Structure 1
Amino acid sequence: MKLLRVGPVGQEKPAILDDKGTIRDLSRHVSDFAGPSVGFEALNAIRAIDLSTLPVIENPDRIGACLASVPNFYCIGLNYAKHAAEAGMDAPKEPIIFSKASSALSGPFDPVIIPRQSTKTDWEVELGVVIGKAASYVSEADALSYVAGYCTVNDVSERAFQIEKGGQWIKGKSAPSFGPVGPYLVTADEVPDPQNLSLSLSLNGATVQDSNTSDMIFGVAEIVSYMSQFMMLLPGDIIATGTPSGVGMGMKPQRFLVEGDVMELEVEGLGRQWQQATNAQ
């Protein structure tokens, strides 16, 4: 299934794509997509619905984030071998885990807002993993059975805030609009191998990131299992699993977002995003 949310900010309706690509309104059956409502029991209830009975949503004016909110927005750092190399850092021996503020959550076509005082706002296309049931001390062999679905994520980052101001990375990752997710939450049954998905990002029409999840140092199953040894993952949690090479910080000379820049990004089978950068007011 491909689940999405359509409508103005704060007024989104839960929806689903039928087998013809038509958007169908799920709001009579589902209040929204967040937390337990993207757990396995809720997803199975949606599967049982005859989609032909649902109202059609034609020409929606906006597609919002595929999740209305998240209990936790986790990220994995330096998880592609070539990205670690371009950052001048050794490949990590264990997954590097950090968080984005949940308030960074944004729609896939909403503007990316360059924060006040920012000099180094950067782009990062990533595979997003959405948890479908509570996960604690799970084995790597069982880990994918805890995944409800996947989505495209742009882990927008302010590198000066992240690296030059000391402390934790979260403050460079968490400005409003720094977490575009969607357009779809694609259920796990439609992604047979999360370690063989192409992903790419273009800036003003020029491709800057072009890779495959096979370049991950730690795969999805290993990440979910590893994280569950230290915390309980909850239904609706999202994990951005790292970005490939081609970020602005790794360019020579470095290149960061300025007002008017356009990013287009995609993860194979999960949908395409489009964002234009704008300065904070």
Structure 2
Amino acid sequence: MKAAVSLLRNHFGFARLHVKSASLEKYRFDPLRRGHALEAIIPSYQNEYYHPKCRFIQYIRAGDTCKRLAMVSENGCKMIELSSMTCASPDMLQFIQQRYCMESLLESSQFMEVTDVLNDLRLLPPIDAPGKIIGVATNYYDTCEERKQKVPKNPEFFVKFNTSVTGALDNIRAHHIAKASSLQYLSDTRIDYGCQLAVVIGTKCRNVPRPSAMGCVFGYTIAQDITARDWNVLLGGQTLLGKSLDTFCPLGSVIVHKSHVPDVNNLWIKTHVNGEERQNSNTRNMIFKIDTLIHQLSQFMTLCPGDIILTGTPAGIGAHRSPSCFLKPGDLLESEIQKLGKMRNKVINPYA
């Protein structure tokens, strides 16, 4: 049994990756069905960076069940498997807790074996079991304009459970329960999207002053905040239920260390649905910057290595388009953030 996923090599750290039979149930990822291959991801542009940097992926080799950790080059052609060549843990969360010096790791990588990214790797989310996933609502100026709302004075937070995490090429399941059965006038589920810059916490921290907050960051990745609007809005605000269904938090495919993102507050962010551009903004439009979010959250709770903060989504989500335009089975959702990569998720029937 063999099913393939083709991921075109591009500037954002993706490589041509394929799925071969492996027991993945322990990671909560369904193997793709025979002959159900996704199409190639179209790159935004090419570059000439070939040496692996601190851009981390988790994967499984074909026919294997062991999770592995690697650094990949910016064009996705080359990799260094850290879990077999260093003392690095094969699990990204544990690797973050090991607190490797990135400068030393990069220097050492010059003497490590660099291999081609093979066609038989199963790409996993870059971190598959974060302790906390905390999102912030209405955190872009263009979102306020779109909704005709006042700019909030303080961030409003919500949570998603880690069982909602899925990979950069995995399917999003249009769960039937996403449609509120008591709302008989709704003929379809109202599943919405929202591309977000995701911050990965690197150190355990509490009561962090704002000037020190960025020192608590390990790196960045891409997330899609998938939401069942039926439950999130129409039934009196069941935000937790509407955001935490299985597969409702695609992540990846790489975690890019903060040293490779010199200006995180100036990255373009885009979403396409079936090739149509839905979101096109820049992280400079965030109302509450990352240091503010970490500072505020750490006043109430301890942030731990591997925790993820979703920093908000810009204008263009389906609920606020005219007319509204929600996701349905068969749709192809593409999410992209400058320097961080690109995801490609297909929406499917939950029983497909």
> How high is the TM-score relative to the length of structure 1?
0.93
C-alpha change, 1:246 and 1:13, in structure 2 (3 Å) is same
Question: Is the Cα contact below 8 Å between 1:16 and 1:26 reproduced in 2?
Answer: yes
**Separation in structure 1 between the aligned mates of residue 198 and residue 291 of structure 2, nearest angstrom:** 13
Superposed, which structure 2 residues align to 1:111-190 within 5 Å? 111-118=171-178, 119-190=189-260
User: Aligned residue for 1:93?
Assistant: 153
- Alignment pair present for 1:7 and 2:60: yes
Question: Is the Cα contact below 8 Å between 1:34 and 1:70 reproduced in 2?
Answer: no
Q: What percent identity do the matched residue pairs reach?
A: 29
**Separation in structure 2 between the aligned mates of residue 43 and residue 130 of structure 1, nearest angstrom:** 16
Could you report, residue by residue, the CA deviation over 1:5-47 in whole angstroms, capped at 9, with x for unpaired residues? 1237974321111477402222223333443421472354744
**Separation in structure 1 between the aligned mates of residue 88 and residue 257 of structure 2, nearest angstrom:** 16
Question: Is the Cα contact below 8 Å between 2:128 and 2:166 reproduced in 1?
Answer: no
Match of 2:280, SS state, is strand
Letter in 2 for 1:3: F
Match of 1:62, SS state, is strand
**Separation in structure 1 between the aligned mates of residue 320 and residue 60 of structure 2, nearest angstrom:** 36
Letter in 1 for 2:259: D
Match of 1:234, SS state, is coil
**Separation in structure 2 between the aligned mates of residue 72 and residue 227 of structure 1, nearest angstrom:** 12
User: Aligned residue for 2:130?
Assistant: 70
Unaligned regions of 5+ residues in structure 2, if any?
1-53, 179-188
Question: Is the Cα contact below 8 Å between 1:128 and 1:241 reproduced in 2?
Answer: yes
**Separation in structure 2 between the aligned mates of residue 83 and residue 175 of structure 1, nearest angstrom:** 24
Per mean C-alpha deviation after superposition, the further-off stretch among 221-230 and 16-25 is 16-25
Letter in 2 for 1:5: Q
**Separation in structure 2 between the aligned mates of residue 78 and residue 10 of structure 1, nearest angstrom:** 40
User: Aligned residue for 2:72?
Assistant: 17
> Would you say how many aligned residue pairs link Structure 1 and Structure 2?
281
**Separation in structure 1 between the aligned mates of residue 340 and residue 233 of structure 2, nearest angstrom:** 30
User: Aligned residue for 2:112?
Assistant: 53
Match of 1:27, SS state, is helix
C-alpha change, 1:227 and 1:40, in structure 2 (3 Å) is farther
Match of 1:260, SS state, is coil
Q: Give 1 or 2 for the bigger CA radius of gyration.
A: 2
**Separation in structure 2 between the aligned mates of residue 192 and residue 117 of structure 1, nearest angstrom:** 42
**Separation in structure 1 between the aligned mates of residue 217 and residue 193 of structure 2, nearest angstrom:** 25
Could you report, residue by residue, the CA deviation over 1:137-185 in whole angstroms, capped at 9, with x for unpaired residues? 1111111111000001111111111112235412111111111111110
Match of 1:148, SS state, is strand
C-alpha change, 1:86 and 1:40, in structure 2 (3 Å) is farther
User: Aligned residue for 1:106?
Assistant: 166
Superposed, which structure 2 residues align to 1:152-231 within 5 Å? 152-231=222-301
User: Aligned residue for 2:96?
Assistant: 38
> How high is the TM-score relative to the length of structure 2?
0.75
C-alpha change, 1:20 and 1:89, in structure 2 (3 Å) is closer
C-alpha change, 1:19 and 1:104, in structure 2 (3 Å) is closer
**Separation in structure 2 between the aligned mates of residue 174 and residue 153 of structure 1, nearest angstrom:** 13
Higher relative contact order (CA 8 A, sep 6+): 1
Question: Is the Cα contact below 8 Å between 2:58 and 2:92 reproduced in 1?
Answer: no
Query: C-alpha displacement at 1:93, in angstroms?
Result: 1.2
Match of 2:309, SS state, is strand
**Separation in structure 2 between the aligned mates of residue 20 and residue 76 of structure 1, nearest angstrom:** 31
**Separation in structure 2 between the aligned mates of residue 262 and residue 217 of structure 1, nearest angstrom:** 29
**Separation in structure 2 between the aligned mates of residue 43 and residue 124 of structure 1, nearest angstrom:** 33
